[in-house]
Every structure is written in structure tokens, then in C-alpha cells.
Amino acid sequence: MAGEVHCIEHPLIQHKLSLMRRKETSTSNFRALLQEIAMLLGYEVTRDLQLELHEIETPLMTMKAPFLAGKKVVLISVLRAGTGLLDGMTKILPSARVGHVGMYRDPETLAPVEYYFRVPSDLADRAVIVVDPMLATGNSAAAAVTRIKQEGASRIKFACLLAAPEGIAAFHAVHPDVPVFTAAIDERLNDHGYILPGLGDAGDRLFGTK
């Protein structure tokens, strides 16, 4: 089964992403733009959430009005850069439950190493959106989703800002059932696992650590 990939080509997202890619973009602008794009991506990622009708009273009459059905969505941020996407998504899903998975890439092997894991206990009953801005090698994303599935989650989507073709292929080789939502699919990875042309290290740019 080939995995689903949704590249969200909305002009506002593309414009904001181009501003983020520029090397001279400041930390504060980078952070603000990532939050804005996360809200727009979140709008697309949640497009198929189920609704159910409940009776309400407007000032004029009663009506059956649509509300989100089922338990609250869970957003799971892959630390540390996932925090940037999480901030925007919680703006449009203010009641979402939130989990965190700490993964870093071993600089030699590029293999993911887990250092933190804390998620809501009832993932089996909830739609889960995993957020990490850069789908590069796909190793950390695949490892994070494997871990999240071990906790019982089955309705999972993965949302990122940029993806490399190699990362999408590696991720879907392990998780063909998890749709990927991204703002752009770039050319390729370099020898250090960075996305080209990309935007550099998303964590460093978001937190001003370099």
C-alpha cells in the first residue's frame, strides 16, 4: 500500500514558507511564521474530522448544530522542533490533548534516539496528529510513530513543514497507513541528513541556538 501524501500548496503557506527559508529571517519572525503555517496546515489536517449534531438554542430558536464528534484530538510533538508546529495547532485546537516524544538524531549514524516519552493514556480512542517540521531521513518520525502505535494509537496523521522525497519513502515503508501532510517536498537530502534547499536546522532557527 502506497502511503498518502498531501502537499498543501495554498499561496499563504507557500509565501510564509519562502520567508522562513531565507537565511536572514530572524528567530522571532521564523517562530511567528511557523506558528501561522501550523494553523493553516492544521486546518487541512483536520478537514475530515467527524461532526455530530446537538440541539442548541440561538437567541431566536432551537436548531441542530454540528460539533466535533468523539474524544478530543491528540497532538504529539516530536521534540524539539515539533514545539513550533504544536504552538500553532493548539491555537486552532485549543482543547486538544498534547503529548511529547523526545528524539534526537545520532550525528554519526543519523539513527533516532528516544530520550523522552509522555502521551495521553487513551490514544486508542482518539485521532492523533504527530507534528515535526522536518521529515528528513524519516528515521525519527518513523520511530516516534512506531512508539505511539505501541501505546494503542491507530488513527494517526503526520504533519510537517518540509519533507524530503527520501524521508517520505522511508517513513511510508514503515507506516504506509499514516498520511503525511506537508507544505513542500524539497529536492533531496545532503550527506548530513539535511533537506536541500530546505531552511537549515529548524530547531536552531526556532530557538536561536546557533
Active site residues: 105, 109, 201, 204
Least distance (Å) from ligand URA to the CB of residue 190? 8
Least distance (Å) from ligand URA to the CB of residue 199? 7
Q: Which stretch binds ligand URA (CB under 6 A): 40-48, 64-72, 151-159, 201-209?
A: 201-209
Verify binding: residue 142, ligand URA, rule CB under 6 A. Answer: no
Q: Cα separation of 142 and 5, whole Å?
A: 15
At residue 74, the 3 state secondary structure works out as strand
Select the residue interacting with ligand URA from 136, 143, 148, 178 (CB under 6 A). Answer: 136
At residue 20, the 3 state secondary structure works out as helix
Q: Cα separation of 135 and 105, whole Å?
A: 12
Q: Using CB under 6 A as the criterion, what x/- string covers residues 53-92 for binding ligand URA?
A: ----------------------------x-----------
DSSP string, 44-69: HHTTT--EEEEEEE-SS-EEEEEEE-
Least distance (Å) from ligand URA to the CB of residue 200? 6
- Helices and strands of the chain, counted as H and E runs: 6, 14
Select the residue interacting with ligand URA from 43, 104, 117, 194 (CB under 6 A). Answer: 194
How many Cα atoms occupy the beta-carbon half-sphere of 69 within 13 Å? 8
Select the residue interacting with ligand URA from 6, 104, 201, 207 (CB under 6 A). Answer: 201
Verify binding: residue 120, ligand URA, rule CB under 6 A. Answer: no
Q: How many amino acids of this chain bind ligand URA (CB under 6 A)?
A: 10
Q: Which residues contact 109 (CB under 8 A, 6 or more apart)?
A: none
Cα dihedral value 16, 18, 20, 24, nearest 10: -130
Least distance (Å) from ligand URA to the CB of residue 207? 11
> Under the rule (CB under 6 A), what is the footprint of ligand URA?
81, 134, 136, 193-195, 198, 201-203
